[in-house]
Amino acid sequence: MLSAANRMRARRGARRCAAAGAFISGAILLTAAWAAPSPLEVLRSGASDRGFERAESVRAFAFPQDHGPHPSFRHEWWYFTGHLQARDGERFGFEVTFFRVALAPAGAETRESAEASTAGESTVGESVAGESVSQWRARQIYVAHFAVTDIGRRKFDSTQRVARDALGLSGAQSSPFRVWLGGWSVAAQDDGNWRLRAGDCAYRLDLRLHPLLPPVLNGDRGLSVKSDEPGNASYYYSIPRIAVEGEIVRGVCPGRSAEAVGEQASGEQAIGEQGGGAARSLDVHGNAWLDREWGSGSLGAHQAGWDWFALQLADGSALMFYALRDEHGAPDRHSAGTWVDRSGRAHALVSRDVHIEVVDHWTSPDGARYPSRWRLSVPSLGLDVSAVPVLADQELETTPRYWEGDVDVGGTLNGKPISGEGYVELVGYAGR
Amino acid sequence: MSRTLWAASARHLLRRPAQLILALIGLALGVATITAVDIATASANRAFELSLDAVSGPATNEITAGPAGLDEQLYISIALREPELAPVPLLEGYVTIGDEAFQLVGVDPLAAANASAERAADGPQAIGTLQAAGAPRAQQPAPGTEALGGLDELRRWLTEPGAAIMAASSARRLGLTVGSRFEIAAGGRPFTAVLIAEDASGLPGREGLILTDIAQAQEWLGARGRLSSIELRAPRDAAGLAALTELRAQLPHGVELQPVGRRSRTNLDMTRAFATNLHAMSLLALLVGLFLIYGAVSFAVLQRRRTFAVLRALGATRLEIVRLVMLESLLLGVAGALLGLGAGVALGRVLIALVSRTINDLYFVVAVNTVALPHGALATAVGAGVVTALLAAVLPAWEAARIEPQLGLKRSTLEVRAAAIARALVLASVVFALGSGAIVLMTSRSLLAGFVALFLLLLAVAGVTPALLGAVAQAGARVCRRSPVGRLALGGVASSLSRTGVAVASLGLAIAAMIGVSVMVGSFRDSLHEWLIRTMRADLYVTVPGPGFGRPERRIEPRVLAALTSVPGIAHFTATRNAIVDSPRGPISIAAVSFTPQMQTGIELVGERDRAAREAWEAFAHGAVFMAEPLAWRLDMHRGSSLTLETASGARRFEVAGLYREYGNGRGGVLMDRDVYRHWWGDEGVSSVSLSLAQGVEPADVVAALRRAAAGHQAIFIGSNADILALSMSIFDRTFVITRVLYWLAAGVAAIGLTSSLLAWELERARELGVLRSLGLTPGGAAALIEAQTIFMGLVAFVAAVPAGLLAAELLVTVINRRAFGWLIDFHLQGAQLANALWLAVAAAAAAGVYPAWRSARASIAAHLREE
């Protein structure tokens, strides 16, 4: 049996090897380096939205069709965050998001290939455009993030996957609703609920989702304007309260068996060998939040990032607020949010309605300094709460990195004590 | 005492720098040849390994299948079910840009991104570690694109038709910059590519690669729906092994899961015989160098007999004299070896081009762009040089130690002893020759034993030469009794065996090697020529140009094929598919041919009578294969053996119905009925067609019609049987250029040796020449005397070399080539080869005599006499 110190050395060694391997490695990693766009990157890219539809005016939403993709827009996401509790009281936070990123407007590639694909005479061009077009051709890609905050064990695990919209590797459809990337998916079931499945070697989720509220339209009837520049807007709705039940499986990642074996909480049942150790399944239930957004615009030239809050209060009300900021950290007047009262009615909030005070900071191992504790007050609602991360390190190891984590909420609503739980997303703090 | 010794030694050597320099050059050439061959073969191997690493990266395992590749759906199902194995799809092929061949690698960067995240999954910080190590960032392509976060490049990569990436150095060489459009040809089909980024990493192995999206690669290579491999990364623990075992069990028949590179690396084994041949040739050069050093050192000893005798009289011990001679030789050896190392590195760079061209012709495409310096091999070369010098000095040192502390032995005594040694050497030669024969008879497959036998044979020649020289010279002197100058000349040669013997032996050795190699090459060439004439029964051959043998992308487009075969004037045609498939014995190349009865006569089944041949063809039509002689030799198979091949539906045994003669492919392959191939591999492609024309049809008209039929669809190569014959012979000659280069080097070393010996001899017999001159020999006469003597020695070297050379040729043809390549070659001797050897022997000897002759003609009688 390895001693703890040896284990650490072995792991460090493995990482060094991995780094060296990547350095001398191949062609495939050359291209891997620039293949992992995140939402911020898409928004900051400044790439042309020419040929894409733009979110410029209020539209009529129709469900369930609008749960499906809107391929005429450049980007789109399905953002699930939630809180799970096992029977023995163990708590987890989770994030499962799917991003659709169109790299070229529909029809663009066929036009181009007809004019430029071949040097020979037109006959070869025909054959390329015709029967021999590869099924791998795609004009959009999907990126998905998976994260679990294992509150009891004070662990945060995240994984990013990416795939092109081809050959069934990833995609989205509206009827029946389904969005997927590899084995990760959210799909409408016959009973009208959704089933979410995602995971990595450390955690796997298989959850049934039952929306408790109809979709809430954010901004001006679903049109969410992000800056003064025309088209820098999106269509944005949320489902702030979704009942969840299902299971979470703790797995063992290769090379990590030594540290995971032996930790065995009561109420877990072994469900077979996997990855060198026993996988443990837990029945869980809880509460989730869906954010849906699509558009073609970018952030404004001076907008550097945002802090996004999604707080679910114990009385059934919910607060969503995003605070945009410029490169100096100053708040942007286009920041906005929505208050959903106990009856499910939505009230739009603008920048001046909400006061946010950062109480503490946390610096990531890579040197990014994130706000880490907040006091939010909305005087017009009589709301005054603080949001405290359940774990300081909930930074996703994506490119670029961002922080998205489970927070505990406590404070007063109209003078009465209120508690709750929530998710906070902090984007634009870590460099590339 | 020792200071006196060193001073004497240094004075002597410095007074005769020419001799020293010649010995140095001789040894340096030997070491240089070894070094150059080491560098060239190591560089080719290294380039091949690097190109493998550059493609497969950090993967541990790969999934591969036969020539038709894998179904892409297999990747999809693995990506969905086993993301932890970090699967990455790859599609590889060869393309050309202009005349330059590149390996096209189609990748899915998104799968690679998932894989690198998966591969870093040993801890959540690992990705950060990778980034901190600067790895991905160092590989970020063009500067200035970081502002776009790489998204723009991904957009171009995925959506821009023809998007490709190549090494910055390759782009510079081709005159391309980011954004340039260029033409790329895959299997003769032209496409437009655009350089969207350069790989500025400068990492070795990248120069020969073109990277593109997997979709683009499928379209360019005409491999829609196919992949060449799926790279996997499994943790090296029980769990990883279990995951691989489980996956392997689920793979369809004909699909292999194995450690990465194992399959490709077997390619490298095929070049081993080729490298052994090169190394043997370079050892030959060193062997000649050994004689040279021996000559130089023994002359240095002979010239100082008097000095040594005086030194002994002054109190120097035998040991000190031996030490002196050995040390001189050691210094000579070290200096020569170091010089040779430097020259070898330079020569190696030249040889790399020759070696890689040969490998590309015979084996696989490899772009050798970096010179590998195999330290171990280089140290060995230097060591061999030094050891050679020491070995060469053993006899002379012993000789020097025997000098009595008086005025030295009389020359006549010395020559009597040399004659005795020459007779002893004849005995040794007989032993060598017998040993050589015994080795050949007692071993059957060992290539090394074959080379040992060859060297023993050559040593036997070298051993017998001095005695032969003495005998012939004495006989000649008796014949020329009436001509005093002739008698003097021949008598002088006979009575100075201690000097002339070694020089003539080394020349004889070089000539014998030259005869052996040129007769072998000539025999091979004639056999190839006869075989080609027999095999090429059709009038016209159509194939797809491009690098690499049996590459799937080198296939004639179906519609082009239909158009070609419907050209009027074609009586009948044969379609062939070339492919390389896996077998438990390594990759096997297959030629799948739909034979017409007329074409069957082109296949020469080895050792089959007519009736047996008919039965063999019967079996062939029913699924058996014919195996080429070289492959049969390598696999130790014969008629009736069974060969297991990985078909598209799993391993299957094929009966070997016969062996056939083949020189077309260095490693040999199997011949299969095309229907059988199609059935088992599901590959409908056609690599080439051979067309037989109807009577009275003008081939030129058909060629023009064929070109019209293919125009705009695909570049095709059309050759008449005469064209193919000429092309094959020119490829053959190119392959043996390197062999020729080496034997010219060996002959050069020998000529230098001869010059060096003659110089020494001329210095020694200065007095003799002086006396002759004072007796009325003109300066021209003195020069003529020396030239006559050297030419005579060249002739004797030739006479000694002819039987030995022929034996060596026989050994090369029937033992070395058979053991190295398995080729069956018929022995062909041409008078021109012997005439060339004679010419070389005489010319080398005459050239070697020019400088000594000129020197003695120029010297005054007084100077000659005073020297004594």
- Mean pLDDT of residues grouped by 10 in chain A (432 residues)? 38 30 32 45 61 90 95 93 95 95 72 39 39 87 94 93 93 95 95 94 94 94 86 91 96 57 40 51 96 85 86 96 88 92 93 94 91 95 96 85 94 95 92 56
* Residues in B 61-80 with any Cβ partner in A closer than 8 A: 72-73, 76, 79-80
Residue, of B17 and A222, whose pLDDT is higher = A222
Query: How far are the Cα atoms of A185, B257, B797 from residue B136, in angstroms, in the given order?
Result: 29, 28, 65
B302: confidence class by pLDDT, cuts 50, 70, 90? low
* B629-656 pLDDT per residue, tens: 888 888 889 889 999 998 888 889 999 9
Report how many Cβ contacts below 8 Å link chain A to chain B: 281
Got the DSSP string for B394-420?
HHHHHHHHT--TTT---HHHHHHHHHH
Place of tokens 């799937």: B552
Environment class of A266 (CB within 10 Å of its CB; exposed 0-12, middle 13-18, buried 19+): exposed
Asked if residue B863 has pLDDT above 80, the reply is no
The predicted-structure confidence for B344-376, as pLDDT tens digits, reads as follows 888 777 777 766 666 655 555 555 656 677 777
**CA-based radius of gyration for chain A:** 23
Burial of B159: CB neighbours in 10 Å, binned 0-12, 13-18, 19+: buried
Residue A173 neighbours by CB under 8 Å, 6+ apart: A68, A69, A179
pTM: 0.68
CA pair distance B495, B417, nearest whole angstrom: 11
| pLDDT for res A389 | 97
DSSP A240: E
Which tokens belong to B597? 């009865």
| A35 contact residues in B (CB cutoff 8 A) | 109-110, 112-113, 150, 154
Kindly tell me if the per-residue pLDDT of B59 is higher than 90: no
Is residue B315 exposed (0-12), middle (13-18) or buried (19+ Cβ within 10 Å)?
exposed
Write out chain A residues lying below 8 Å of B76, CB-based: 167-169
Helix (H, G, I), strand (E, B) or coil at B689: strand
Instruction: Report the range out of B51-55, B178-182, B523-527, B778-782 with the highest average pLDDT.
Output: B178-182
Please work out, in degrees rounded to the nearest 5, the angle formed at the alpha carbon of residue B420 by the alpha carbons of B416 and B425: 145
Q: Indicate if the alpha-carbon torsion angle B392, B395, B398, B402 is positive or negative.
A: negative
* Residue B769, token pair as written in the block: 């020449």
CA neighbor of B230 nearest in space, from B358, B14, B76, B450: B76
Residue B731 binned pLDDT confidence (cut-offs 50, 70, 90): low
Q: Place B753 in a pLDDT band, splitting at 50, 70 and 90.
A: low
Reduced DSSP (H G I as helix, E B as strand, rest coil) percent helix, strand, coil of chain A, to 5: 15, 45, 40
DSSP string, B722-775: HHHHHHHHHHHHHHTHHHHHHHHHHHHHHHHHHHHHHHHHHHHTHHHHHHHHHT
Residue A134: its chain B contacts at CB < 8 A?
214-216, 218-219, 224
Q: How far apart are CA B418 and CA B764, in angstroms?
A: 16
Mean of pLDDT values over B485-508: 74
SS3 A55: coil
- For residue B599, count other CB atoms closer than 10 A to its CB: 20
Rounded Cα gap, residues B654 and B665, in angstroms: 21
Q: Which chain B residues are within 8 Å of A254, Cβ to Cβ?
A: 84, 121-122, 235, 237, 239-240
Judge whether B190 is closer than 8 Å to chain A, CB to CB: yes
Between CA B314 and CA B306 the distance in angstroms is: 12
CB contact under 8 A, B88 and A36: no
What's the rounded Cα separation, in Å, for the pair B849 and B794? 10
- Higher-pLDDT residue of B528, A60: A60
Residue that is written with structure tokens 């009589």 in the block: A382
Alpha-carbon distance of B24 to B292, in angstroms, equals 9
pLDDT-derived band at B782 (thresholds 50, 70, 90) equals confident
Q: What's the gap between Cα B29 and its chain centre?
A: 18
- What is the SS3 assignment for B425? helix
Supply φ then ψ for residue B236, to 5 degrees.
-85, 65
pLDDT given at position A415: 93
pLDDT, residue A46, reads 55
CB pair distance less than 8 Å for A109 and B159: yes
Residues 6 or more apart whose CB falls under 8 angstroms from that of B566 comprise: B709
Predicted local confidence at residue B740, as pLDDT: 66
Write down the pLDDT at residue A268.
42
Which DSSP category does B547 fall into?
A: S
> What Cα–Cα distance (Å) separates residue B76 from each residue in A33, A135, B111, B399?
22, 12, 11, 79
Phi and psi at residue B712, to the nearest 5°:
85, -15
The three-state secondary structure class of B578 is strand
Nearest to B492 by CA among B763, B785, B780, B771: B785
The listed range with the strongest mean pLDDT (A292-296, B472-476, B584-588) is A292-296
Termini Cα distance of chain B: 26
Residue in the structure block whose two tokens are 């189609």? B106
Contact at 8 Å (CB) between B345 and B35?
yes
Lowest-pLDDT range of A179-193, B51-65, B159-173: B51-65
pLDDT recorded at residue B654: 94
Distance CA B142, CA B199 (A): 8
Which pLDDT belongs to residue A123? 36
Query: CA B431, B434, B439, B442 torsion: positive or negative?
Result: negative
Distance separating alpha carbons of residues A48 and B159, to the nearest angstrom: 14
Q: What is the pLDDT of residues B99-114, one digit of tens each?
A: 777 888 898 888 877 8
In angstroms, the CA B332 to CA B172 distance is 45
Question: Tens digits of per-residue pLDDT, B235-250?
Answer: 777 778 888 889 999 8
Radius of gyration from C-alpha coordinates of chain B: 33
- B684 or B723, which is more confident? B684
The pLDDT score that the predictor gives to residue B522 is: 83
Find chain B residues with C-beta within 8 A of A160's C-beta.
Answer: 114, 117
Task: Give the β-pairing of A303-313 and A91-102.
Answer: unpaired
Q: Mutate which of A7, A28, A159 to disrupt the B interface (most B C-beta within 10 Å)?
A: A28
Q: Say if the Cβ atoms of A124 and B231 lie within 8 Å.
A: no
Helical pair B721-735 and B497-535, crossing angle rounded to 10 deg? 150
Q: Given this model, what pLDDT does residue A128 score?
A: 42
- Predicted pLDDT at A369: 92
Mean pLDDT of B177-185: 92
Torsion of CA A54, A55, A56, A62, to 10 degrees: 130
How many angstroms separate the CA of residue B71 from the nearest CA in chain A?
12
Q: Tell me the C-alpha distance between B543 and B557, whole Å.
A: 11
* Test the A interface: residue of B119, B158, B166 with most A CBs within 10 Å: B158
Closest CA in chain B for residue A111:
B161
Question: What pLDDT sits at residue B48?
Answer: 66
Of A112, A119, A128, the CB nearest to B219: A128
Q: Which of B307, B377, B422 is nearest to B45 (CA)?
A: B377
Residue B208's pLDDT is: 76
Chain A residues whose beta carbon lies within 8 Å of the beta carbon of residue B147: 46
Nearest to B762, CA basis, from B731, B776, B783, B740: B783
Mean pLDDT to the nearest integer, B42-59: 66
How many whole angstroms separate alpha carbon A163 and alpha carbon A182? Answer: 8
CB within 8 Å: B76 and A183? no
CA atoms in the 13 A half-sphere facing the CB of A335:
25
Q: Regarding predicted confidence, which is higher, B158 or B132?
A: B158
DSSP B149-209: TTHHHHHHHHHSTTEEEEEHHHHHHHT--TT-EEEEEETTEEEEEEEEEEETT--TT-TTE
Residue type, A297: G
Q: Regarding beta strands A277-295 and A75-86, do their DSSP bridges make them parallel or antiparallel, or are they unpaired?
A: antiparallel
Q: SS3 for A375?
A: strand
Tens digit of pLDDT for each residue in B610-620?
Answer: 778 888 888 99
Model confidence at B34, pLDDT cuts 50, 70, 90, reads confident
Give mean pLDDT, residues B682-709. 86
Residue B793, amino acid: M
The DSSP line for A277-312 is EEEEEEEEEEEEEEEEEEES----TTEEEEEEEEEE
Q: What is the pLDDT of residue B410?
A: 57
What is the spatial distance between Cα B758 and Cα B554, in angstroms, rounded to a whole number? Answer: 59
What pLDDT does residue A168 have? 93
